[in-house]
Amino acid sequence: MTATPPRLTVTVQRGTEGATRQETFDVPAYENQTVLDVVTWIQQMADPTLAYRFACRVGMCGSCAMMVNGEPRWTCRTHVKKVASDGQLDIAPLRNLPVIKDLAADMDPFFDKWVAAEARLHPSAGRGDDFDPVTSQEPARAEADLGIECINCGICYAACDTVAGNPDYLGPAALQRAWTLFNDSRDADRDGILAAVSGKGGCHNCHSMGSCAQYCPNDLNPMRAIAGLKRETVRAAWGRKRDA
Amino acid sequence: MLDLRLYVAQRLSALVMVPLVLGHIAVMIYAIQGGLSTAEILGRTQGSLLWFLFYGTFVIAVSVHAAIGLRVIAHEWGGLRGRVLDWLMWVVGAGLLTLGARAVLAVTVP
Amino acid sequence: MKVPPRSHPLWLAFLLHRLSGLALALFLPVHLWLLSQAVTSPATLDGFLAFAEHPLVKLAEFGLVFLLAVHMGGGLRLLALEFLPWSDRHKTYAAAAIGAALFLSATFFLRAI
């Protein structure tokens, strides 16, 4: 006698921006199963036209993030048992981003904001120069180290309600990277970073609701980084005023 | 939507109001017992430079603070942007400042 | 009641801060206008102060004092988060702000009734 294997009821958002619909799939449940496994099962066994994105399957690449039951998750490292004890799964593309198709969100606005936040290295040394020694004992280096494990998955960006209400806001990931570089002794444009994060969509729009830190799969804390940027921008402006 | 200047104005006005709010709550707790009357309020505040400065500062700070706060909410929850948003902020600030100045003058000037 | 997705303690603290600020901003014009009647039309103000003796109005006043205190407490927490060295205990501070606000507003309420 074999027991009927338990089933999952999975609702998936289909379609492109402005023309989305919900489709429900009946998926077999297993003892060990990630949300990405479920999505892959649907594409392999039920509907090969389902579009979604993944690469490494081990939480390194940051490409498989989706909304799972209303919360942003890295699907390759999220066990179904943890998020769907009642056998119901609701899967949608990452929030706060346009949809390309089905579960694949358009990451362009997300990465455009990294550039807008000057969240890229401004080299201070050339090919012929010596390496800059990086010692983890310095306070600035310790602060930078807190943010370097970011895998650009976009989960914090999708979790943030400030981004949802204020589309110009640069968002937690870009600002955290800007803070990391600001604290990196190898970066040559600290003033440029502070100016870039002080505009209309800058760090000062953050309300410290902490959803970024709550959902970051790598346990980073962009809220803390953004608080650091706020402090340093105020300090720099104060200094300019006194020097003037 | 909030740049460095508006942010600093919001935080500075908040900082100024911390002792004022504490004082205001203390006065409320003290004054509420046995009910309030116009005569009682005026007896405390009329002709007092201290209360004039206390509530005058309070009104200026709260006008700045509330105008910027409502600007943020109108943008994030109401979808207002650009000129309309700036206009709303200045109208709220000026309106509160006017109402507040009238109230402070009414209860402190003998 | 089903908890909305993405709600967590600091998010709820944010919501409380926003809603209390919004409510205070809407109440403020009424408050200031009434006080400005003290000299020109003391009867208006006294009429309202008599109305304020009603138990339900007292309860509403208790609510307003709570909103003011909790907005201040929450705001102090945010100022500390932004301008003091980082602390990992902000959930505790948020709860403490609510506790302190309840204490202050309850003190007011007990004196009022």
pLDDT tens digits for range B12-45: 999 999 999 999 999 999 998 877 888 888 988 9
Tokens of A23: 């489709």
User: Which among B2, B76, B77 has CB closest to A204?
Assistant: B2
pLDDT at A227: 98
How much is the ipTM here?
Answer: 0.94
Name the one residue in this structure whose structure tokens are 């500062």.
B57
User: Which among C22, C68, C75 has CB closest to B25?
Assistant: C68
Domain boundary pick from A76, A105, A134: A105
Q: Which of A11-25, A224-238, C44-58 has the lowest mean pLDDT?
A: C44-58
Task: Give the model's confidence band at A78: pLDDT under 50 very low, under 70 low, under 90 confident, else very high.
Answer: very high
Three-state secondary structure call for residue A85:
coil
Chain A residues touching residue B2 (CB < 8 angstroms): 200, 202, 204-205
Tokens of A37: 């496994």
Query: What is the per-residue pLDDT across C30-67, written as a single tens digit (0 to 9) for each?
Result: 999 999 988 788 888 888 888 888 888 889 999 999 99
Asked if C75 is an interface residue toward chain A (Cβ–Cβ < 8 A), one would say no
Q: Are residues A96 and A179 in the same domain?
A: no
Domain that holds residue A124: 108-243
Domain boundary pick from A41, A71, A105: A105
User: Which among B3, B8, B11 has CB closest to A199?
Assistant: B3
Q: Are residues A12 and A24 in the same domain?
A: yes
User: Which CATH fold would you assign to the domain C16-112?
Assistant: 3 helical TM bundles of succinate and fumarate reductases (1.20.1300)
- A209, C14: Cβ pair inside 8 Å? yes
- C10, A209: Cβ pair inside 8 Å? yes
Q: Are residues A112 and A221 in the same domain?
A: yes
pLDDT at B105: 95
Consecutive H or E run containing A58: none
- Residue A147 domain flag: yes
Q: Are residues A60 and A142 in the same domain?
A: no
User: Which among A164, A166, A204 has CB closest to B4?
Assistant: A204
User: Which among B1, B8, B77 has CB closest to A168?
Assistant: B1
How many domains does chain A divide into? Answer: 2
Instruction: Give the count of alpha carbons within 13 A of C15, CB side only.
Output: 10
- B38, C69: Cβ pair inside 8 Å? no
Q: How far apart are CA B35 and CA C45, in angstroms?
A: 13
pLDDT at A45 over 60: yes
Q: How far apart are CA A6 and CA A164, in angstroms?
A: 37
Rounded to the nearest angstrom, the minimum Cα separation between A230 and chain C is 7
pLDDT at A244 over 80: no
User: What is the end-to-end Cα distance of chain A in Å, rounded?
Assistant: 85
Q: How far is CA A220 from CA A110, A200, A215, A217, in A?
A: 18, 25, 9, 8
Query: What is the per-residue pLDDT across C70-91, written as a single tens digit (0 to 9) for each?
Result: 999 999 999 999 999 999 999 9
Tokens of A124: 């201070």
- B3, A204: Cβ pair inside 8 Å? yes
- C38, B96: Cβ pair inside 8 Å? no
Mean pLDDT of A48-61: 97
Chain A residues touching residue B8 (CB < 8 angstroms): 234, 237
- Residue A2 domain flag: no
Q: How far is CA B38 from CA A181, B44, C40, in A?
A: 60, 10, 11
Asked if A199 is an interface residue toward chain C (Cβ–Cβ < 8 A), one would say no
Mean pLDDT, chain A, integer: 94
* A-to-C residue pairs, Cβ atoms closer than 8 angstroms: 46
Q: Are residues A115 and A219 in the same domain?
A: yes
Mean pLDDT of A65-80: 97
Q: Which CATH architecture has domain B2-108?
A: Up-down Bundle (1.20)
Asked if C14 is an interface residue toward chain A (Cβ–Cβ < 8 A), one would say yes
Q: Are residues A35 and A66 in the same domain?
A: yes
Task: Give the model's confidence band at A5: pLDDT under 50 very low, under 70 low, under 90 confident, else very high.
Answer: low
- Residue A216 domain flag: yes
CATH number at residue A75: 3.10.20.30
pLDDT at B32: 86
- A198, B4: Cβ pair inside 8 Å? yes
Task: Give the model's confidence band at B11: pLDDT under 50 very low, under 70 low, under 90 confident, else very high.
Answer: very high
Q: How far is CA B8 from CA A15, B64, B80, C79, in A?
A: 44, 11, 22, 11
pLDDT at A55: 97
Domain boundary pick from A105, A126, A156: A105
Q: How far apart are CA B39 and CA A17, in angstroms?
A: 64
Task: Give the model's confidence band at A56: pLDDT under 50 very low, under 70 low, under 90 confident, else very high.
Answer: very high
- How many helices (H) and strands (E) would you count in chain B? 4, 0
Chains near C (3 or more Cβ pairs under 8 Å): A, B
Task: Give the model's confidence band at C2: pLDDT under 50 very low, under 70 low, under 90 confident, else very high.
Answer: low
**Closest among C97, B79, C77 to A208, alpha carbons compared:** C77
Chain A residues touching residue C6 (CB < 8 angstroms): 70-71, 159, 161, 211, 214-215
Q: Are residues A94 and A182 in the same domain?
A: no
Q: Are residues A237 and A138 in the same domain?
A: yes
- Residue A158 domain flag: yes
Task: Give the model's confidence band at A2: pLDDT under 50 very low, under 70 low, under 90 confident, else very high.
Answer: low
Asked if C82 is an interface residue toward chain A (Cβ–Cβ < 8 A), one would say yes
Task: Give the model's confidence band at A229: pLDDT under 50 very low, under 70 low, under 90 confident, else very high.
Answer: very high
Query: What is the per-residue pLDDT across A84-107, written as a single tens digit (0 to 9) for each?
Result: 878 999 999 999 999 999 999 999
pLDDT at B8 over 80: yes
- C81, A231: Cβ pair inside 8 Å? no
* pTM, 2 dp: 0.94
Q: Are residues A93 and A151 in the same domain?
A: no
Rounded to the nearest angstrom, the minimum Cα separation between B13 and chain C is 11
CATH number at residue A148: 1.10.1060.10
Q: Which of A160-164, C2-6, C47-51 has the lowest mean pLDDT?
A: C2-6
Which is higher by pLDDT, A25 or A6?
A25
* B-to-C residue pairs, Cβ atoms closer than 8 angstroms: 90
Chain A interface, mutation test: which of C82, C83, C89, C91, most A Cβ atoms within 10 Å? C82
Q: How far is CA A115 from CA A111, A123, A171, in A?
A: 7, 15, 12
Asked if C11 is an interface residue toward chain A (Cβ–Cβ < 8 A), one would say yes
Indicate left, alpha or beta for B33 from its phi (over 0: left) and psi (-120 to 50: alpha): beta
Tokens of A146: 């807190």
Taking the domains of chain B in order of start, what are their residue ranges?
A: 2-108
Q: How far apart are CA B1 and CA A13, in angstroms?
A: 32
Chain B residues touching residue C36 (CB < 8 angstroms): 99, 102-103, 105-106
Q: Please give the share of chain B, as a percent, with pLDDT higher than 90.
A: 81
- Residue A165 domain flag: yes
